[in-house]
Amino acid sequence: MTDQQHIYLDYAATCPVDPAVLQHMLPFFTEHFGNAASRTHAFGWEAEEAVSRARAQVAAVIGADAKEIAFTSGATEANNLALKGVAEFLKDKGNHVITVVTEHKAILDTGKHLERNGAEVTYLSVGSDGLVSMQALADAIRPETVLVSVMFANNETGVVQPIAEIGALCRSKGIMFHTDAVQAYGKVPIDVNEMNIDLMSISAHKIYGPKGVGALYVRRRRPRVRIAPQIHGGGHERGNRSGTLNVPGIVGFGAAAELAKTSMAQEAARTLELREHLRTRLEAEIPDTIVNGSLEQRLPGTLNVSFAYVEGESLLMGLKGIAVSSGSACTSASLEPSYVLKAMGLDDELAHSSLRISVGRFTTRAELDSVADRIRDQVERLRAMSPLWEMVQEGIDLKSIEWAHH
């Protein structure tokens, strides 16, 4: 996706609404504007029918039943509802929750909140490939563990966790399993039954739907999962989440989900090919290019790379007009190196020099070729000015140097 001066390669942050999705939404702003909770007239019935359709469309992508989808304002809310909802409902059963250090802030900050309210939270570490260890997870489980929350795919690296294995372990121990599947939903096959997933957070705007709408999948059978609602007022969404439904947004979510389902195989193959084209060009043309995270266990469209001996901020400045992110999109304003990459063992310098490049439905090979050229030229320019790079080229081992500290 390109306008005059910009190339968009930040699909993991958000996507444009697909024009076909927008067409489905438009009538629900003006013509079919009814409240889906109005039971006494056709305006309400029409809205309710559209919401039901969307619920089925969203559920079908993950092998769920429509009744198991609770619409929310997005995945941040869905993550809050899952963690707080389970912790509160099961507080008499146990107070221990397990999650991972590389989760999205919507999980980590909610975990902090649970801790302030007396829960115990274990944050599992990850390997240099970004993956959690099944052994570490098994070892962390205690009799009072009520919930395990592990993201399906990481938003910064695209690394995909062993979700089916984690689901099987949790099910065998009778522990609820939640996954933040925002990045994976509609991109890779997911089956909540085969994978023993009890709760799942998803978001419309990461699959070419509108911003401000998402959902929590809540398993209803084998076992029936109960959560305590966090927003009260009318008992919408089977009591899980009150509030007048965002009908146009939900219709858009449904249309986006259906599009994602029908085009998944083809789009995954296309985005993988594009990503691999970019990766192989960068690795071939720029020495000391480091791909962050497992290359095998990874979403098709996401690449995270670091360039040794290059200062990250200067690199981004040199890439004006190319929309990529460095570190985490949510925390990059703070200039803190990415906590996800640091958890994978990267030092501050490499974490700082990282770029997340995420391709999507409207990305072209020509765009990636021009971006590869630009990145190569900028890295070369910055390294030409770097005394460290010069020393490395002369064969000096930087680790052997005693730096004078002032």
151 lines the binding site for ligand PLP (CB under 6 A): yes
158 lines the binding site for ligand PLP (CB under 6 A): no
- How far is residue 43's CA from residue 97's CA, in Å, rounded to a whole number? 44
Among 57, 102, 145, 183, binds ligand PLP (CB under 6 A): 183
DSSP letter at 37 equals T
- How far is residue 219's CA from residue 225's CA, in Å, rounded to a whole number? 5
The bridge status of strand 322-323 relative to strand 7-8 is parallel
Residue whose C-beta lies closest to ligand PLP: 74
What single string gives the DSSP state of each residue in 167-205?
HHHHHHHT-EEEEE-TTTTTTS---TTTTT-SEEEEEGG
| Nearest to ligand PLP of 34, 130 (CB atom) | 130
330 a catalytic residue: yes
Residues 25-64, mask of contacts with ligand PLP (x by CB under 6 A): ----------------------------------------
Nearest distance from C-beta of residue 210 to ligand PLP, angstroms: 10
Nearest distance from C-beta of residue 309 to ligand PLP, angstroms: 30
Residues with Cβ < 8 Å from 213, sequence gap 6 or more? 71, 72, 73, 74, 203, 204, 205, 246, 249, 250, 252, 253
Tokens 């993550």 belong to which residue? 79
Q: Which of 56, 140, 330, 392 is catalytic?
A: 330
182 lines the binding site for ligand PLP (CB under 6 A): yes
Q: Half-sphere exposure (CA, 13 Å, Cβ side) for 91?
A: 12
Q: What is the dihedral of CA 205, 208, 209, 215, to 10 degrees?
A: -50
The bridge status of strand 302-307 relative to strand 289-291 is antiparallel
How many residues of this chain interact with ligand PLP, rule: CB under 6 A? 13
Tokens of 75: 């995945």
Nearest distance from C-beta of residue 107 to ligand PLP, angstroms: 7
203 lines the binding site for ligand PLP (CB under 6 A): yes
Q: Phi, psi (5° rounding) for residue 153? A: -135, 140
Q: How many other β-carbons are positioned within 10 Å of the β-carbon of residue 266?
A: 9
Q: 289 - beta bridge partners?
A: 307
104 lines the binding site for ligand PLP (CB under 6 A): yes
Among 61, 64, 76, 286, binds ligand PLP (CB under 6 A): 76
Contact range with ligand PLP by CB under 6 A, out of 28-36, 70-78, 116-124, 138-146: 70-78
74 lines the binding site for ligand PLP (CB under 6 A): yes
- How far is residue 279's CA from residue 285's CA, in Å, rounded to a whole number? 10
180 lines the binding site for ligand PLP (CB under 6 A): yes
Nearest distance from C-beta of residue 300 to ligand PLP, angstroms: 15
178 lines the binding site for ligand PLP (CB under 6 A): no
Instruction: Enumerate the active-site residues.
Output: 330
Using CB under 6 A as the criterion, which residues of the chain lie in contact with ligand PLP when the complex forms? 74-76, 104, 106, 151, 155, 180, 182-183, 203, 206, 214
